[in-house]
Amino acid sequence: MKIDGKTNLLLLTGFYLLMSLIASSDSSLQYDYYRESCPEAHQIIKSTLRRIYDRNASVAPAMLRLIFHDCFVQGCDASVLLDPTEIMGSEKDTQPNQSLRGFDHIDIIKAELENACPGVVSCADLLVVAARESVILAGGPFYPVHTGRKDSARSFPQLSYELPSPLDDHPTTILRFATRGFTEKETVTLLGAHSTGMIHCKFFEKRLYNFGGTNQPDPSLDSEFADQLRSICNNRTHSHSGSPSASPSPSPSTSSSKTSQNQGMQMDYEGKGAGFGTLYYRSLLQGRGILFVDQQMTAGAETANWVRNYASDVSLFRRDFAQVMMKLSSTNVLTGGNGEVRLNCREVTSSLW
């Protein structure tokens, strides 16, 4: 995209606005918090993530999902990264988090940080910075990140069930986000993160074959697009006519099961050149939202208005997405003596547990 003088001025103005917004979101966080204790921290996260991305581009959407599933539960405290122990459950083992990926990539980045600056950089900060870099790699906007977060010494598996579901309708989605302090506009903006990554068939199959127990597809789904999705997700449980099979296999083979699990649709199905956010919002206006929760953003007057605004003005979306990601990244953070710095992101460091 060519940037003229006017656009450059707007970007600069937006940058300073973002700086002021994040400064007011949590005064305990600082810009360049590690400037003395680990001045290369941000560069280590950036360069290591880039190496991983060059081999496996799916790391970018994986990091975006991780930060959302972490911050939405109890705040940005890296609790989602903890493995279960004999006395503590794990958020990653709960049903809403079953499809989370990227934990091994976090381990790689953390090892690099520990090698350079032992016991200094928290996993919470690592995840927030990695998410920002992933947004950039996916074609999204840069936004400044303040650091100084500490890690939680416990996980909150029971709260994971408060996460939004791909099957949520409009009122439920708005309520879930409102409980975390996000407006209807910010909800539409945050869902723009679905501009990248693969959505597996299990998250939208019911829209194709048996929506609401009707044995019919979701009427809000464009019929041609539904055919396209059915061609991808037509597996062992459905006949070629698109209706549920009368006698699905009770014990599918391992290979069939793996194939079904791996089937899905790329959110940026027109290619990365389509632009981060552009395709997503235009698709919703065309009835081509892959997830029901996304398509439902056209079901309310205010949310539908923002879908239209973002579909026609990608610069507006990029600005708003940067702001809401900063807000998300500063949600209920632990600072000072209220947390710890884990040496291994999967395990608590203190003797609290």
Task: Decide: residue 284, CB within 10 A, 0-12 exposed, 13-18 middle, 19+ buried.
Answer: buried
The contacts of residue 25 (CB under 8 Å, 6+ apart) are 146, 326, 327, 330
Q: Is 265 helix (H, G, I), strand (E, B) or coil?
A: strand
Q: Distance between CA atoms of 60 and 67, rounded to whole angstroms?
A: 11
Quick check: is 69 catalytic? yes
Nearest alpha carbon to residue 43 among 107, 103, 117: 117
Nearest alpha carbon to residue 292 among 228, 210, 237: 210
CA distances from 251 to 201, 206, 262 (A): 19, 20, 18
Q: Distance between CA atoms of 141 and 188, rounded to whole angstroms?
A: 16
The contacts of residue 178 (CB under 8 Å, 6+ apart) are none
Q: Distance between CA atoms of 200 and 131, rounded to whole angstroms?
A: 21
Q: Distance between CA atoms of 333 and 229, rounded to whole angstroms?
A: 40
Among residues 69, 105, 170, 238, which one is catalytic? Answer: 69
Residue with tokens 């884990």: 342
Q: Which residues are catalytic?
A: 69
